[in-house]
Amino acid sequence: MNPLKHVAIIMDGNGRWGIKHKNSRNAGHKAGLNTVEKIIKETIKKKISFLTLYVFSTENWKRPKEEVNYLFKLLENFLISRIEDLHAQNIKLKIIGIKNFSKNLNKLLKYSEKKTSKNTSLQINLALNYGSKTEILHALKLISKNKKKITEKNFINYLQTKNIPDPDLLIRTGNTNRLSNFLLWQLAYSEIFFEKKLWPAFNVKDYNKIIKKYKKIKRNYGNI
């Protein structure tokens, strides 16, 4: 049985679910948050150490302003209402991506990270304004600025995922088989599951089914 330390999820399909069920993409984002809560709970239960959630990509700024604003309002409300409880559950929150949001949200994100920084059960990484290509270029710039040798070991220390093991398992919901600029370096040897269900319809049973399949995979890393 494979150990499972780190699950990464591309939570896709909110918009389509919202249009289908409530004629509103934003309603889909709201419903998607319920799935986030359930998956966090199950991840704790399963004693998995890291959960990385793709919340907003560097490309998602192309969306209508109204949708972008709604997404950040949802995030803000989620943090305000849930951070104390997450902290009480010994969860550490980390943001990967560039924090250049409104003053209020930046402050809230920093507060949430600082407050939970010493926690030791599950680490949740929220990929927010995250893009893998930007991350890689930034790491290369830092290496060159600090006159370090370009080695794998040095390089990964300049990524935003420094000190986080690579995901063992990547799940993308929403019936789309692509990475959309998510953790391109870190996913080099992850087991990838593309799930047909849209994110708001994804449930704990689906999650457990994937985990069960993952545990049985023979991971070769180039070996036989």
Nearer to ligand IPE, 166 or 174 (CB): 174
Q: Which stretch binds ligand IPE (CB under 6 A): 9-17, 35-43, 44-52, 136-144?
A: 9-17
Site map 62..81 versus ligand IPE, x via CB under 6 A: ---------x----------
Place of tokens 């995250």: 130
81, 38, 32: which is closest to 55 by C-alpha? 32
Q: Which of 12, 166, 168, 206 is catalytic?
A: 12
12 is catalytic: yes
Token pair of 205 as six digits: 């049973």
| Segment interacting with ligand IPE, rule: CB under 6 A, options 11-19, 99-107, 108-116, 138-146 | 11-19
* Listed ranges 9-17, 24-32, 55-63, 88-96: which one lies at the site for Mg ion (CB under 5 A): 9-17
d(CA 13, CA 164): 27
At what angle are helices 65-88 and 25-45 packed, to 10 degrees?
A: 20
Per-residue contact string for residues 143-182; x = within reach of ligand IPE by CB under 6 A = -------------------------------x-x-x-x--
Q: Which long-range contacts (CB under 8 A, 24 or more apart) does 131-139 make?
A: 131/57, 131/58, 131/59, 131/97, 131/181, 132/179, 132/181, 132/182, 132/183, 132/184, 132/185, 133/181, 133/184, 134/58, 134/98, 135/96, 135/159, 135/160, 135/185, 136/184, 136/185
- Rounded Cα distance between 168 and 170, Å, is 7
Which candidate in 14, 23, 26, 60 is catalytic?
A: 60
Least Å from the CB of residue 102 to ligand IPE: 17
Q: Please, what is the minimum distance in Å from the beta carbon of residue 16 to Mg ion?
A: 8
Site for ligand IPE (CB under 6 A): which residue of 55, 75, 139, 164?
A: 55
Q: What residues make contact with Mg ion under the rule CB under 5 A?
A: 12
Active site members? 12, 60
